[in-house]
Chain A
Amino acid sequence: MTTDRSTSSGPALLEVLDVSKSFGAVAAVQGVSFPLYAGEAHALVGENGAGKSTIVKMLAGVHRPDTGTLRADGENRTFHSPADAKAAGIAVIYQEPTLFPDLSVAENIAMGNAPLTRLRQIDRRSMRATAERLFARLGVRIDPDRPARGLSIADQQIVEIAKALSTKARVLIMDEPTAALSGVEVERLFSVVRSLRDEGAAIMFISHRFEEITALCQRVTIMRDGRHVATEKVEDLSVDDMIRRMVGRDLSALFPKQEVTAGDVVLTVEGLSREGVFRDISFEVRAGEIVALAGLVGSGRSEVMQAVFGVDPYDSGTVVFNGKRLKPRNPRAAMNAGLALVPEDRRQQGLVMDLSIARNVTLPRSGALARLGLLFGGTEKREAESWTRKLQTRFGRLSDAVGTLSGGNQQKVVLAKWLATGPKLLIVDEPTRGIDVGTKAEVHRLMSSLAADGMAVVMVSSELPEVLGMADRVLVLREGHLVAELSRAEATEESVMYAAMGQKVTA
């Protein structure tokens, strides 16, 4: 990986000058300025909700800044529509690619500026030749005639890049392009982006992964709460510096686990087995404790907890909660007994994206909140208000759809939803996946204070620092077996990984 290019200091291809944008009462971006230079990759970092996506949408012509200007090639520009931004040479690659599934790949690339024959008909031959030429230049092989439906996310992004190249875009804006890619795919994407950069394009790159930023970018702009914090050369900043400026506080504050003396046993799992998934799992969880389930992906962590909660079946064993046996395969009974499970995939399993924040928060309790079987907005709203305040959720109005929130705030809504049921045991599966550093800390602080109040917390997590920072005890699973139980003092990165992999890892 190289960061060797000396940064050019000619005039900026695109300049963002003191732009601000508000949505209703929420000021998404306030007075942000930065330049994008030719031949340079520029990272834009900030927590979720810091205003990065709003910046992207203004550059893409989707939103117009309330104040401030965008300057392309030294001229002030106003983008009234995405077409204007395209005409100014700006191409945007969104986190979720925006292709037309029914149309062919070649047609997707040509959409908007398809080559025409003399009769002003679409010149299909030249269209697919263009697609092939672009793919050759990008060093990938995608059949231009196949429909875009069914392409992997990585390939869709390559098609988006080809689209950008076909419009002769000189400014390429990539909004978290690597979020859904595997390591190999990220490398392929980076080699493509590097060669574009070296050919003189200006790249704006948004990512939560710092190793990607240091590998690809020359300059970085840091945002916090919609404001511009700094624009610096990447080589002048350490990752710690970046995080500190993004979050506005020190890293040490990230895992604020309070010391708690554990109370009575609330959950006893004994000899839990499910053919081919996990075997003979036994453990206890006490009130006020945070217990982490660690292990590699596929070791059966989530499956164990789903069986405990009753979502998944199990073949043998018992689950005892507060002295009473929980029936298998009955999540409703588990909920009534005082368990709550915050699932791993909040978009699919945790939230109804089109419903309002208030509705989502009160969904599991709609029965209790209803009068004579009818739901009235007032009770829902009061409940939701109190919970979102406790969790410091940032949003415009309670009636906004959950889908409009940033990832971190969505996670808080999921938490609010389950905390509103007043659980005695909270199971959280990957509580901070895909959310930014600052919100992570808030979620951690919240879990810690819940435990301090006597709630038992079981956390399934793939992030070792989180496991080590938060857990009073760490249970390590390997291939469906519980292989280690480590106290907070015993748990180190080495000891957990050793147990998870079944061999000594060389650091």
Chain B
Amino acid sequence: MSVAVTEIHKQDQKPGRSLGYVFRQREMGIVLALVALVAYTAINQSRFLSSQSIRDILLNTAILAVLASGMAVVVITRHIDLSVGSVLGLSAFAVATVMQHNQDLPMVAALALGLGIGAVAGVVNGALVHFGNVPALVVTLGTMYAYRGLTYSWAGGQQVTADEVPRHFLRFANSDLLGVPWLVIIALAVIAGVGVMMRNYRIGRELYAMGSSPQAAGLAGIKIARNTLVAFVISGALAGLGGVLYASRFGTVDAASGNGYELQVVAAVVVGGVAVFGGSGTIWGAGLGALLLTVIGSALAVLDINQFWQQAIVGALIVLAIGADRLVAVRIARSLRKRDSHV
């Protein structure tokens, strides 16, 4: 017995260092796809790797990645949040309007406001899902229209333009820290923070557990109500944060900002290897998914391919990701069954 046990030890003590382990990770597929895509595009169009082009890609990825991080949390919990595009729009318009009327308000206040609006929207979503006992798909489809409607009735066709908001607000999204755009730093911080929470903290593991088997989670005494709220608040708050970043980056905001964005976010999460039925996937995978989608968009533009193809390719990728997901699951299940776990 002891022989086998020590073997297991040896195998698993340093999983990070074994090449096999790295390649077994789901995220590896995305990385490979990214490398291939970038290489192909760069060979055909050298300006694809110009610093300006890379900077644009990263800036475009940042907001998507922030929202995808939050969406991943919700999807891992076996829910979905379709309201993120509307929350982003609401937050962007609210922040831009407030900044327009209070030119001296610091950036921190704008960020806090956006986060707060998003968090409130998330509480509403979570409460409806849990206490109303309504599937998240239905609840957030409803709130997606409700939040968007709220923004429309407030904006009433008006828009806030870049010359009406304070200069420092606009500068934020377009300035750097040591050559790295603030937007990218924020996105990385969000991915790291949420990622660590999901990986190393009790709450994160409980969210995985809830997604893996909701019934077992209840019997295990996991606080389903609190955790559901937490998941939706994270998603909402990050969508709110995304709204602030959006307003700061583009300056001009109207009631339609972020319309339809939720589907891109879901696409990024699914392509990033988060299982649609919860329980598995990682935050950094979702971030990579966001990057891959953005790179595809840019590559097609650079290669002068019709924009139509972008949507078709994204669609194909989603089907591929879900197909691969099933395939991997079936394979794993089979190999686990074969491997006798004990003697």
Please list the residues of chain A having a beta carbon within 8 angstroms of any beta carbon in chain B: 60-62, 81-86, 92, 94, 98-103, 107, 111-112, 114, 116, 120-122, 132, 140-143, 145-147, 149-152, 155
A111 touches B201 (CB 8 A): no
Smallest beta-carbon distance A152→chain B, Å: 8
B174-217 residues at the A interface, CB under 8 angstroms: 196, 200-202, 205-206, 208-209, 211-213, 215-217
Residue of B with least CB distance to A110? B205
- Residues A143 and B200 in contact in the complex (CB < 8 Å), given A62-B219, A99-B216, A103-B208: no
Contacts known (A82-B220, A120-B201, A122-B202); A142 close to B342, Cβ less than 8 A: yes
Q: Give Cα A146–Cα B339 distance, bound, in whole angstroms.
A: 10
Chain A residues in 8 Å Cβ range of B219 = 60, 62, 82, 92, 94, 98
Is there contact, CB below 8 Å, between A149 and B332?
yes
CB < 8 Å neighbour of A146 from B201, B216, B336: B336
| 11 examples of A-B residue contacts, CB within 8 angstroms | A82-B220, A98-B220, A100-B279, A101-B213, A102-B211, A102-B275, A112-B221, A122-B200, A141-B5, A146-B336, A149-B336
Across the interface, B221 reaches (CB within 8 A) one of A86, A146, A147, A150, namely A86
Known contacts being A142-B342, A145-B12, A149-B336, is A103 close to B212, with CB within 8 Å? yes
Task: Name A127's closest neighbour in chain B (CB-CB).
Answer: B205
Main secondary structure of the interface of A (DSSP, over half): loop
- Closest CB in chain B relative to A84 CB, distance in Å: 8
Residue of B nearest to A87 (CB): B221
Query: A residues within 8 A CB of B316?
Result: none
Q: Is the CB of B200 within 8 A of A155?
A: no
A94 to B213, CA, bound (A): 15
Please tell me if the beta carbons of A82 and B221 are within 8 angstroms of each other in the complex. yes
Is A102's CB under 8 angstroms from B212's CB? yes
Q: Is B315 an interface residue (CB 8 A)?
A: no
CB-CB under 8 A from A151, the residues of chain B are 336, 341
**Does B343 belong to the interface (CB within 8 Å)?**
yes
B337 sits at the interface (CB 8 A): yes
B207 → A minimal CB distance (Å): 11
Query: CA–CA, A94 to B209, complex, Å?
Result: 18
User: Smallest distance from the beta carbon of B298 to chain A beta carbons, Å?
Assistant: 34
Interface residues of B in 56-85 (CB under 8 A from A): none
Answer whether A100 and B216 are a contact pair too, CB < 8 Å, given A146-B336, A147-B336, A155-B342: yes
5 A-B pairs with the lowest CB-CB distances in the bound complex, closest first: A150-B336, A83-B221, A102-B279, A98-B216, A141-B342
B282 to chain A, nearest CB (A): 12
B229 to chain A, nearest CB (A): 16
**CA–CA, A434 to B279, complex, Å?**
33
With both beta carbons as reference points, the residue of chain A lying nearest to B11 in the complex is identified as A145
Tell me whether A101 and B279 are in contact (CB under 8 A).
yes
Contact partners of A102 in chain B: CB under 8 A = 208, 211-212, 275, 279-280
Contact between chains at A143 and B222 (CB < 8 Å)? no
Given the known A-B contacts A99-B216, A155-B341, are A107 and B200 also in contact in the complex, defined by CB atoms under 8 Å?
A: no
Task: Please name all residues of chain B whose beta carbon is closer than 8 Å to the beta carbon of A60 when the two chains form the complex.
Answer: 219
Q: Give the complex CA separation of A61 and B219 in angstroms.
A: 9
When the two chains form their complex, are residues B220 and A111 in contact, meaning their CB atoms are under 8 A apart? yes
Please give 7 more A-B residue pairs, beta carbons under 8 A apart, in addition to A99-B216, A141-B342, A145-B12. A82-B221, A84-B221, A111-B220, A114-B202, A120-B202, A146-B339, A150-B336
CB neighbors of A among B212-243 (8 A) = 212-213, 215-223
CB distance from A405 to the nearest CB of B (A): 18
Q: Specify which chain B residues have a CB less than 8 angstroms from the CB of A62 in the assembled complex.
A: 218-219
Contacts of A111 in B (CB 8 A): 205-206, 209, 220, 222
Bound: A149/B215 CA distance, A: 15
Residues on the B chain within 8 Å of A114, using CB: 202, 205
Report B-chain residues with C-beta under 8 Å of the C-beta of A101. 212-213, 279
B119 CB, nearest partner CB in chain A, Å: 22
Q: Give Cα A496 to B222, complex, Å.
A: 53
When chains A and B are docked, how far (Å) is the Cα of A86 from the Cα of B221? Answer: 8
Determine whether the beta carbon of B342 is less than 8 Å from that of A140: yes
Contacts of A152 in B (CB 8 A): 341
Question: A86–B218 Cα gap in the complex (Å)?
Answer: 12
Interface centre among B8, B200, B220, B339 (most CB of A within 10 A): B220
B281's nearest neighbour on chain A, judged by CB, is A102
Contact with A along B1-42 (1 / 0, CB 8 A): 100110010001000000000000000000000000000000
**Residue of B at shortest CB range from A121?**
B200
**In-complex Cβ contact of A98 among B4, B213, B333 (8 A):** B213
Compute how far the CA of A421 lies from the CA of B84 in the bound complex, rounded to whole angstroms. Answer: 52
- Most chain B CB atoms below 10 A, which of A60, A121, A151, A152: A121
Residues of B within 8 A of A146 (CB): 336, 339, 341
Asked if A150 contacts B332 (CB within 8 A), the reply is yes
Q: Is the CB of A122 within 8 A of B221?
A: no
Given contacts A100-B208, A141-B5, A149-B332, A122 and B216 within 8 Å (CB-CB): no
Task: State the CA gap A487–B342 with chains docked (Å).
Answer: 48
A98–chain B nearest beta-carbon distance, Å: 4
Q: How far is the CB of B327 from chain A (nearest CB, A)?
A: 15
How many Å from the CB of A247 to the closest CB on chain B? Answer: 31
Question: Which A residue sits closest to B8, measured CB to CB?
Answer: A143
Closest residue of chain A to B217, judged by CB? A100
CB distance from B206 to the nearest CB of A (A): 7
**Residues in chain A near residue B341, CB distance under 8 A:** 141-143, 146, 151-152, 155
- Shortest distance from the beta carbon of A502 to any chain B beta carbon, whole Å: 33
Give B277's nearest chain A residue, CB to CB. Answer: A102
For window 265-298 of B, CB contacts with A under 8 Å fall at 275, 279-280
Which residues of B have CB within 8 Å of A150?
A: 332-333, 335-337
Residue ID in chain B nearest A158 by CB atoms:
B342
CA distance A146 to B8 in the complex (A): 11
Give chain B residues whose Cβ lies under 8 Å from the Cβ of A121.
196, 200-201
In the complex, chain B residues whose CB is within 8 Å of the CB of A107:
205
